[in-house]
Amino acid sequence: MCTAAKLRAAAKQGMIKTMRRTPVLALVLLFALGALVPDAAARRRRRRQGGVGVLVINSMTTGAEVLIDGKTMGTIPLAKPLQLASGKHTLKMTLQGYTEYLDVFTIQRNKTTTLDVDLLPYAGVVQVTVNAEGARVFIDGKFVGTAPVEQEVLIGERAIRVRKAGYYEYIGKLNSVAGKIQRLHIKLKPMPVGTTPYRPPPPPPPKWYEKWYVWAGAAAGVAAVTVAIIVPVVVMSRDDFGEFCESADLCIRR
């Protein structure tokens, strides 16, 4: 019985000691966690803020425009590797006649990231210039713009038509090759003068009596005749008036 009592007493004492130590252990754990949490947050901030990595783009699509996070960085081939802040970025590459590339990549601090990107051609590009400004360009019957115009065209043989009022219409064909640029300069032939309202005939020359110098000469002649008539009449009138004054003795002499 004594042994059982002693065991119960020892167990009781052990429980009391454990209960007394538990708050102390809890406080120690809280202080330790409080010290670790700020350190982890600081490390995360350093990872977000600090560090620069390098991006290298390998591509055979010459002339493709490269955009990082919406900002133009140049065209393929790039002059040099790009230095970017560590973290996630968006890459976009575009070129007329080729499919667009859009993807997200990650830059690691003090490391080089290499991307192999080649765009797939699906259409050709045609550039049309015309000797008549404002000519309308149609491809496969669809209006694509007024010259000069640049347009993506599906691969294969295509019909092209160019129209402008006052000119003969141009109708031809072109062979569109995926990823290739074709430059066409089309010369429209003007219609004969007078065959279309857009090229009316020149006005007829004025008749002889409609010319300004005819009426100017006539006016000068009339003026000369008028002077020739008026001057003698005035002179004669003065002489007659003098004779009248002498006969009637009515003039006032100074």
Q: What is the CATH number of the domain that holds 144?
A: 2.60.40.10
Domain boundary among 169, 186, 203: 186
Strand partners, 107: 87
pLDDT per residue over 59-110, tens digit each? Answer: 999 999 999 999 999 999 999 999 999 999 999 999 989 999 999 999 999 9
Whether 171 and 159 have beta carbons less than 8 Å apart is answered as yes
Identify the residue whose tokens are 């590009």. 125
Same domain, 132 and 85: no
Residues 33 and 69 in one domain: no
pLDDT tens string 192-204 = 877 767 667 677 7
Domain shared by 42 and 30, yes or no: yes
Q: Decide if pLDDT at 131 tops 80.
A: yes
Percentage of residues in the chain having pLDDT higher than 90: 50
What are the structure tokens assigned to 180, written together?
């290739």
Q: Which of 80-89, 91-100, 117-126, 228-237 has the lowest mean pLDDT?
A: 228-237
Q: Is residue 140 part of a domain?
A: yes
Domain C-terminal end among 142, 163, 186: 186
In a domain, 249, yes or no: no
CB 155 within 8 A of CB 123: yes
**More confident position, 132 or 50:** 132
- Where does the pLDDT of residue 57 fall: very low under 50, low under 70, confident under 90, or very high at 90 and above? very high
Is residue 241 in a domain? Answer: no
Q: What is the CATH number of the domain that holds 70?
A: 2.60.40
The predicted pLDDT at position 193 comes to: 79
Largest Cα span, the chain = 194
Quick one: 59 and 31 in the same domain? Answer: no
Based on the fold, state whether residues 110 and 132 are members of the same structural domain. Answer: no
Q: What is the average pLDDT across 208-228?
A: 63
In-domain check, residue 195: no
Identify whether residues 75 and 44 lie together within a single domain. Answer: no
Q: Is residue 203 part of a domain?
A: no
* Domain-terminating residue out of 116, 142, 166: 116
Asked if pLDDT for residue 226 goes beyond 80, the answer is no
User: Which tens digits make up the pLDDT trace of 12-55?
Assistant: 566 556 555 555 555 555 455 555 445 556 666 655 556 899 99
Question: Do residues 138 and 97 share a domain?
Answer: no
pLDDT tens, position by position, 157-193 = 999 999 999 999 999 999 999 888 999 999 999 988 7
pLDDT score, position 1: 47
Q: Which residue has the higher pLDDT, 226 or 105?
A: 105
Residue 245's pLDDT is 53
- 156 near 211, Cβ under 8 Å? no
Q: Which structural domain range is residue 129 located in?
A: 123-186
Q: Locate 206 and state its tokens.
A: 């004025």
Same domain for 44 and 25: yes
Which residue did the predictor score with more confidence, 88 or 5?
A: 88
Residue 197, domain member (yes or no): no
Please give the residue that has the higher pLDDT: either 216 or 154: 154
Mean pLDDT of all residues belonging to the chain: 78
Count structural domains, the chain. Answer: 3
Distances (CA, A) of 19 to 11, 13, 22: 12, 10, 5
Residue 221 within a domain: no
- Regarding whether 156 and 101 lie in a shared domain, the answer is no
Cα dihedral 100/128/76/157 (nearest 10): 60
